Amino acid sequence: MSQKDTISKIAFEDNKKILTGLIAVMIAITAIYQLRPFLDDAQFSYIAIPAYAILPALVTAYSAALAIKLYRQKHYQAKGFVLFAIAAAFWFVAEQIWQLYDHVWEGEPFPSEADIFYLAAYPLMTAFLFISLKPVIRKTGRNVWLFAIGLSISFLVPSVLAAYDDMFEEEAFATAIALAYPILGSIQVIPAIVGIMYLAKQGSSLSWMLILFGFIIYGVADTFFLFAELDGTYYDGHPVDLLWLYTYILIVFAFHIRLKIANIPGEEHSSLFTENIKFETISKFGIPLTLTIVSMIIIMSLIHSMFMESDEQISAQSMMLGVVAMLAVFAVIVLTINKNLSRLVKMRTNELIEQRNNLENLVEEKTHEILKSERLSAIGELSGRLAHDLRNPLSVMKMSVDLIKQSPADSKISDENITKRIDMIEKSIDRISHQVDDVLGYVRNSPLNLSNVSLNELIQSSLDKVNVPKDVQVELSKKQIKIDCDPDKLDAVFINLIINSIQAMPNGGKIQIKITDQDNLAILKFIDSGDGISEKNIEKIFEPLFTTKQKGTGLGLASCKNIIEQHHGEISVTNNPTTFTIVLPKMLSVQQVKLESKKS
């Protein structure tokens, strides 16, 4: 199985198991926390202390292992995960200090050592998000950023105002610590929201969905905790504690997935979103996961508000504010996912329709090419036989005419009309011979017989074989460039191009043949002053059997193209003025010729 197949197997086959396990763990921890109204502080510490020791420890261990793995692979995300591992260690230390103050040491000072570690983790986590989401940041539009910033500010403003009012006339350091929480938390949640919206639009990555959901839940928990703390309604086992535990659980599951992918050798896992999950997976598990989290928090809040002692009065305003804020965030996320899923399904449907149409067009085009190839093959076989049969009588006729012309004056035919007719016969023979050569040149694909020759001399030899009219001026470049080629085959190409140029100028004109070179390439340009080729025909001019002449096979330029390509060169044509450009390699190895012969 290939690396790509292995990644796909991890990505798609394990989603149901992973998400089912995740929901089961979250429900279990939520059910355990429902015991809080029926336990005193000492009894509940047997639940809180292990929960806030084990889960942060797992986050720290997983992030450290993943950071080391990515660093050894020289992955571009390695720096980000190193920062996350340090921040996770700060989380772990802060949680242990918090638990010590809550259950062992007397008093809960503010600020405490725990606050220093909590706050130190924020910039590290924010840097982790920006480094890891760098590909997303480049592709995200301004509207998405404005939405994320606006949503973050909606958390920030009331939190800062409430914290400032509560800390009014307190020490500057304590006030700064209190204000730092909502400010740093709001900054941290911005890239998380942007990442969630990008994933919902482009196709979701399970591990990154869990990571970013975890960060958003953490931001909601901070806001919830702040108002509960300001109202004096916070207690150990408060529903907000469950939100932080959800964050740790989501990150543990996410890092477990990413560590499995990182252990696969190769480069396929180097991109950001490698384990894209199917739309149906999101709709069946992603949305229920979101609703499960929201439902459990609401249920727990109601249970706690009904059964907690009356002296620990819970502020309805702070509770509702936290619940409504959390519901608003998740409602926006769910609606965004659903909206983008519908759009993506429509886009994928259109893509499939387009691919189907393209395949139909491709099949039709290939079928047409096969039919054309079969037709040409049949024509080629028949033409080859006819050409071979015609060459012998043509040779006899040509030789007879030459002998009549070379006979002594006293034995020559003196009648001028007969002489003119003999000339006409000779021209007709030449024309038929040229057409036969075109057919044979296209039908026969003989191997190249290489030799190193001068292009100038070869073209001059071709010119000598063509009857150039007196009203046609030929200008040949004197540049001497030698190339490896089959002289006989290139001679046929040059003769064909020269004759075409002459025929394009029935009233006379000028033919320029330029020879230049560039690096290991020789460049030939055959330029004539004729009327040019019509735009509708210029793209078809090298197609077999296409001709604009009343008398012609339509195989001359097709044969030229085959010969040039056999030499690993290119031939093209442009208008204004009509210019046939040939590009040939100066050196052609024997291995290339043998390979070309095998292909033929």
Confidence band, pLDDT 50/70/90 cuts, at residue 138:
confident
For residue 324, the tally of other CB atoms under 10 A from its CB is 11
Catalogue the long-range contacts made by 505-512 (C-beta closer than 8 Å, 24 or more residues apart): 505/472, 505/529, 505/530, 507/471, 508/469, 508/471, 508/472, 509/471, 509/472, 509/473, 510/472, 510/473, 510/474, 510/475, 511/472, 511/473, 511/474, 511/475, 512/475
- pLDDT for the residue 121: 93
Token couple for 486: 């089959």
Hey, which residues does 582 pair with through a beta bridge?
Answer: 524, 571
3-class SS string, 397-466: HHHHHHHHHHCCHHHCCCCHHHHHHHHHHHHHHHHHHHHHHHHHHHHCCCCCCCEEEEHHHHHHHHHHCC
**Mean pLDDT value across residues 548-573:** 77
Q: In this structure, what DSSP letter does residue 277 have? A: P
- pLDDT above 70 covers what percent of the chain? 65
Least confident of 266-280, 330-344, 547-561, 566-580: 266-280
Start-end of H helices in 104-203 = 113-132, 134-139, 142-166, 172-202
Confidence band, pLDDT 50/70/90 cuts, at residue 524:
very high
Per the CB < 8 A criterion, the answer to whether 297 and 210 are in contact is no
Of 542 and 581, the one with more pLDDT: 581
Chain segment 442-454, per-residue pLDDT in tens? 555 667 788 889 9
Please state, rounded to an integer, the average pLDDT across all residues of the chain. 75
- pLDDT for the residue 101: 83
Q: Say whether pLDDT at 375 is over 70.
A: no
Q: How far apart are CA 125 and CA 8, in angstroms?
A: 29
Q: Say whether pLDDT at 431 is over 80.
A: no
**Mean pLDDT value across residues 169-192:** 87
Instruction: Return the amino acid letter for 103.
Output: H
Which residue's structure tokens are 């639940």? 47
Q: Say whether pLDDT at 269 is over 50.
A: no
Beta-carbon contacts of 6 under 8 Å, excluding residues fewer than 6 positions away, are 264
Q: Say whether pLDDT at 327 is over 70.
A: no
Q: How far apart are CA 40 and CA 308, in angstroms?
A: 10
